[in-house]
């Protein structure tokens, strides 16, 4: 089975439990929860039993350990995670504004993961992987971005595949060098997983159908558009498939897209038809929002089956 690699930030997240215009108002805060988009993604891949690994860096502190314990328990190879004494594990604070939108404070660039560098363990790990999943947040710190792009190019050069979730937060958009890095990634992308307006990041088309057609013509093989509480859609040369949203109570939307991506990539790599991969991903995203904490809603196959095929006869 193809082993999946992701590169990027491992964080702890502190979550506001009430809405408010600032962290002073949005009290109390709870956490730390294991987090980081690539970490959530790869945790979901591991929970589905697909071989997988993360290349990252944490501090020699309890925040790093919280993450490493969780990832290892869920089947993720953490041999490519360096533990840096004297440095701090990354962190993110999230609060919900009165309109339900989210505001983040990220500490990635100045944390251990922002200074990811090449290591012999990391190089050996890249060689064992045949698929790379890249997230836009991994491009938000220079050291991290350089290593992510290098891993991507090595895996593609030996005939591997690339999935790409832009996952762009307003907070990271002014990162120096972000735009050329995004263009470099898209040129190598086999499977593109945008949400919201991200479908328009690389095209001049002004409607969704035009954007999809443009990207498919430029060599992206599969496109999956995440639509939050409206479900999701898959597009390839053969056409379009939609997944209606699964009715759930939304407790905390952070991590839905990452869990969705982890499930889609696992089934796609296993050769499942797009409709099957989409159904499982849609279920993984739905289940993710029912749990407080970004990584708390990653799912096993049995948990996804229970959502896709409701128990009959009760
Ligand atoms: P994030 O980056 O914050 O993790 P995202 O914007 O990448 O999220 P979303 O579109 O919010 O991703 O969610 C991913 C998928 O999860 C959706 O396409 C859908 O399948 C599922 N999903 C998300 N929210 C809900 C919801 N409230 N009800 C049902 N399904 C949901
Ligand atoms: Mg996302």
Q: Tell me whether residue 224 is in a domain.
A: yes
E strands, 108-190, in order: 131-135, 161-165
Query: 310 in a domain, yes or no?
Result: no
Q: Are 195 and 227 in contact (CB under 8 A)?
A: yes
Give the pLDDT confidence score for residue 170 in this predicted structure.
78
CA pair distance 281, 269, nearest whole angstrom: 13
Q: Is residue 309 part of a domain?
A: no
Residue 44 structural domain: 4-297
Task: Work out how many domains the chain is built from and give that number.
Answer: 1
pLDDT at 313: 45
Q: What percent of the chain has pLDDT over 70?
A: 98
Q: How far apart are CA 147 and CA 17, in angstroms?
A: 35
Minimum-distance ligand 1 atom for the alpha carbon of 196: 6
Does the Cβ of 255 fall within 6 Å of ligand 1?
yes
279 lines ligand 1 (CB under 6 A): no
214 domain-assigned: yes
263 phi, psi to nearest 5 deg: -70, -45
List the one residue out of 69, 62, 66, 49 whose CA is nearest residue 3. 49
Question: Residue 210 in contact with residue 203, Cβ under 8 Å?
Answer: yes
**Per-residue pLDDT tens over the stretch 54-78:** 999 999 999 999 999 999 999 999 9
For residues 13 and 294, the answer to whether their CB atoms sit within 8 Å is yes
The full length of the chain comes to 314
Q: What is the CATH number of the domain that holds 178?
A: 3.40.1190.20
Quick check: CB of 72 below 6 Å from ligand 1?
A: no
**Quick one: which of 294, 303, 252 has its CA closest to 70?**
294
Residue 305 lies in a domain: no
Q: In the structure encoding, which two tokens stand for residue 184, read together? A: 């470099």
Q: pLDDT at position 257, please?
A: 98
**For the segment 9-68, what is each residue's pLDDT rounded down to a tens digit?**
999 999 999 998 899 988 999 999 999 999 999 999 999 999 999 999 999 999 999 999
Q: How confident is the model at residue 310 (pLDDT cuts 50, 70, 90)?
A: low
Question: Which of the pair, 171 or 260, is modelled with greater confidence?
Answer: 260
Q: How far is the centre of ligand 2, averaged over its atoms, from the C-alpha of 257 (Å)?
A: 4
Expressed in angstroms, the distance from the first to the final Cα of the chain is 38
Radius of gyration of the chain (CA): 18
Distance CA 292, CA 31 (A): 10
**159 belongs to a structural domain:** yes
270 found inside a domain: yes
Compute the half-sphere exposure of residue 311: CA atoms within 13 Å on the CB side of its CA: 4
10 lines ligand 1 (CB under 6 A): no
Classify residue 314: in a domain, yes or no: no
Give the torsion through C-alpha atoms of 214, 219, 224, 227, to 10 deg. -30
């Amino acid at each position: 089975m193809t082993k999946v690699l992701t590169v990027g930030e491992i964080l702890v997240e502190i979550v506001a439990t009430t809405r408010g215009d600032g962290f002073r108002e949005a009290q109390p805060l709870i956490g730390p929860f294991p987090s980081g988009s690539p970490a959530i993604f790869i945790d979901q891949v591991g929970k589905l039993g697909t071989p997988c690994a993360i290349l990252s860096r944490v501090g020699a502190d309890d925040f790093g350990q919280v993450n490493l314990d969780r990832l290892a328990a869920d089947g993720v190879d953490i041999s490519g995670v360096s533990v840096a004494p004297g440095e701090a594990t990354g962190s993110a604070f999230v609060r919900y504004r009165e309109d339900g939108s989210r505001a983040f404070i990220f500490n990635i660039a100045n944390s251990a993961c922002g200074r990811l560098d090449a290591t012999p363990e990391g190089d050996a790990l890249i060689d064992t992987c045949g698929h790379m999943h890249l997230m836009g947040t991994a491009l938000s710190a220079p050291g991290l971005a350089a290593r992510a792009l290098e891993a991507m190019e090595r895996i593609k050069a030996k005939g591997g595949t690339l999935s790409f979730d832009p996952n762009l937060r307003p907070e990271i958009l002014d990162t120096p060098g972000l735009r050329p890095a995004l263009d470099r990634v898209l040129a190598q992308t086999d499977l593109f997983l945008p949400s919201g307006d991200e479908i328009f990041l690389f095209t001049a088309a002004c409607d969704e159908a035009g954007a999809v057609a443009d990207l498919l013509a430029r060599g992206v093989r599969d496109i999956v558009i995440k639509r939050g509480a409206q479900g999701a859609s898959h597009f390839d040369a053969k056409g379009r498939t939609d997944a209606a949203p699964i009715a759930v109570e939304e407790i905390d939307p952070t991590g839905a897209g990452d869990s969705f991506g982890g499930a889609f990539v696992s089934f796609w790599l296993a050769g499942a038809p797009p409709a099957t991969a989409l159904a499982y991903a849609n279920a993984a995203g739905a289940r993710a929002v029912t749990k407080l904490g970004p990584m708390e809603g990653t799912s096993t196959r049995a948990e996804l089956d229970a959502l896709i095929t409701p128990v009959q006869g009760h």
